[in-house]
Amino acid sequence: MKNQDWEIPPNLQPDPDDYSFDLERALRAVVSLKTYIPSDAFTAESLGTERTGSGVVIRENGLVATIGYLITEAETIWITSSDGRAIPGHALAYDQETGFGLVQALGQLNLPALEMGDSDRLKVGDQVVFAAGGGKHHAVETRLVGRQEFAGYWEYVLDDALFTAPAHPFWGGGGLISTDGKLMGIGSLILQQGDGRGRRLDMNMGVPIGLLTPIMKDLLSYGRVNRPARPWLGMYATEADDTIVVGGLADNGPAEQAGVRMGDRILAVGGDDISDLAGLWRRVWAAGSAGAEVRLRLMRDKTPVALTVRSGDRTSFLKSPKVH
């Protein structure tokens, strides 16, 4: 779906008269992103070779904050303003731990930058605007409905994720803007849950912008945070019926090479029993840095299996962006 082919229903769009700041100016800082990834890239099969989403200009020089999966292994990036101007961009950085990505415009965007706010002060019930690239017609007036831990199947945990509803249908890389006009988070996912009455509730999960500030200098200097990488197994796990199950494996990744199979139930890491997804990933990371050996106790069918996985650095499996 092309950016101009959709718009948020008018009753869900923010009304500029309801805000003390210049909403139209703030929304101009939210841009559309289109990325192209080589077909032989590590993430091409799982995330696709063409990805679309949004980003937020956070510096007047054209620095754009987005969600990292949009730009992972991107060979070509186009940044499009709400008035239709397209400028090439470069994938500057991607932080595996938070999920943030940074794109540098390779030309003059001539767009306002949105100031990063104090996301720690957001409280459940607070009103925010969730904006995708394209201006007011691509923005939703929403509220913070939760702040809590989030664990992803791809070896990812956020201690304090932001959850908003009603949900924005084009969430990836969108900006969460507070009532004082500051950037509070970047959209990552859409999630569904039941309300106990047979109805489905949709909400967005966002990454708090406060996690970007302490790592910004490293990302701009090195393209990643300047510390040893976490151990990565290349194992996709899910919670099912009070157990943790291996739902997929990265091709030729550490877990697959060690003999882990789809359908294995994960009972313990090292000497610690595992009861939830966040606990699994935290116990893996506690093994040390990338390259550390991770001992897994599994149940395969009805047979106990013990395996040792020599972990890797996830970044080493990815293609580096071309220097323009």
Selection from 122, 102, 117, 136 nearest residue 18 by Cα: 136
pLDDT given for residue 73 in this prediction = 96
Angle, CA of 59, 216 and 70, to the nearest 5°: 75
Report pLDDT digits (tens) over 12-64.
999 999 999 999 999 999 999 999 999 999 999 999 999 999 999 999 999 99
User: Beta-carbon neighbour count of residue 200 at 10 Å?
Assistant: 8
The average pLDDT across 134-155 equals 96
Predicted confidence band at 320 (pLDDT cuts at 50, 70, 90)? confident
> Which domains does the chain carry?
1-227 (2.40.10.120), 235-317 (2.30.42.10)
> Residues 222-260: pLDDT tens digits?
999 999 999 999 999 999 888 999 999 999 999 999 999
Reported as a single tens digit per residue, the pLDDT across 92-101 is 999 999 999 9
- Residue 209: pLDDT over 90: yes
Q: How large a percentage of the chain has pLDDT more than 70? A: 96
266-291 burial, b if ≥16 CB within 10 A, otherwise e?
bbebeeeebeebbbbbbbbbebeebe
**Res 2 pLDDT > 60:** no
pLDDT over 70 at 194, yes or no? no
**Predicted confidence (pLDDT) per residue in 260-301, tens digit:** 999 999 999 999 999 999 999 999 999 999 999 999 999 999
Q: Is the per-residue pLDDT at 175 higher than 60?
A: yes
Look at residue 292 in the predicted model and tell me its pLDDT.
98
pLDDT of residue 1: 37
Residue 307 identity: L
Given this model, what pLDDT does residue 127 score? 97
Helix (H, G, I), strand (E, B) or coil at 108: coil
pLDDT given for residue 47 in this prediction: 94
Q: What percent of the chain has pLDDT over 90?
A: 92
- What is the per-residue pLDDT for 321? 66
Question: Tokens for 221?
Answer: 């200097």
Residue 195: pLDDT band with limits 50, 70, 90: low
pLDDT score, position 241: 85
DSSP E strands, 25-84: 30-36, 50-59, 63-67, 76-80
Per-residue pLDDT at 183: 98
Give the per-residue pLDDT at 323: 56
Instruction: Please give the average per-residue pLDDT across 59-85, as a whole number.
Output: 96
Beta bridge partners of 23: none
- pLDDT in the model for residue 196: 60
d(CA 246, CA 265): 6
pTM recorded for the entire structure: 0.94
Assign residue 113 a region: left if phi > 0, alpha if psi is -120 to 50, beta otherwise?
A: beta
